[in-house]
Chain A
Amino acid sequence: DSGVTQTPKHLITATGQRVTLRCSPRSGDLSVYWYQQSLDQGLQFLIQYYNGEERAKGNILERFSAQQFPDLHSELNLSSLELGDSALYFCASSPADRQNTDTQYFGPGTRLTVL
């Protein structure tokens, strides 16, 4: 158990819908990262937040957005869902934002299925 929690574990929805994925980082960690794992793209970095502020963006679609709240939990919002958005979405956390010795600890993931 990494200490990172994600809810829900599974999510099944229809095309065009909007969903919210939730992540609680390890106690004391200020950085939260979101990754998408799909069969065709593999594991890809989406976005990072540090203490409530966006720090870095990766291959995140405009239909996707995220935020980190004062209690440091984070939410990833996916809208206008398409079949290709079906994937496993991971959250990870680390203590800081630019420490190159930081290690990211991953949650169990949320499996999203778009029908």
Chain B
Amino acid sequence: AQSVTQPDIHITVSDGASLELRCNYSYGATPYLFWYVQSPGQGLQLLLKYFSGDTLVQGIKGFEAEFKRSQSSFNLRKPSVHWSDAAEYFCAVGLIQGAQKLVFGQGTRLTINP
């Protein structure tokens, strides 16, 4: 069955430090991959997506992600985090099985230390 794993439930980094959030997927076909962010009490906002082509994709708010087929990974990175980046981050795979639906990972909560 298709699945998405985010190994880190909670990560804490200092303001200005670099960030990498891990995402691994299990899917037999070509994956369509997404990262969403959920701020407290808010909905899900799309950060970036990968469909094909260049395996390094740029998103909003200075985030980027790299698709590595050999490792079944789609890790999210940011060179320097800001306190406003504190939120929950979700990796998702888009499944095309009769209709598109998203399968989400369990999420990684990011805390920023001042």
Contact = CB atoms under 8 A, between A and B. Distances in A.
Interface of A: 2, 4, 31, 33, 35, 42-45, 48, 50, 55-56, 58, 90, 92, 94, 97-109
Contact of A42 (B42, B45, B99, B107): B107
Interface of B: 32, 34, 36, 42-46, 49, 51, 90, 94, 96-107
Contacts, number: 67
* Main DSSP-derived SS at the B contact region: strand
Given A43-B107, A103-B34, A108-B42, 6 more contacts: A44-B104, A48-B99, A99-B100, A100-B100, A105-B46, A106-B36
A33 B44 CA distance: 13
B43 A50 contact: no
28 contacts: A2-B43, A31-B100, A33-B102, A35-B102, A42-B104, A42-B106, A42-B107, A45-B102, A45-B103, A48-B100, A55-B98, A90-B43, A90-B44, A94-B100, A97-B99, A98-B99, A98-B100, A100-B32, A100-B94, A100-B96, A102-B94, A103-B46, A105-B46, A106-B36, A106-B44, A106-B45, A106-B46, A107-B43
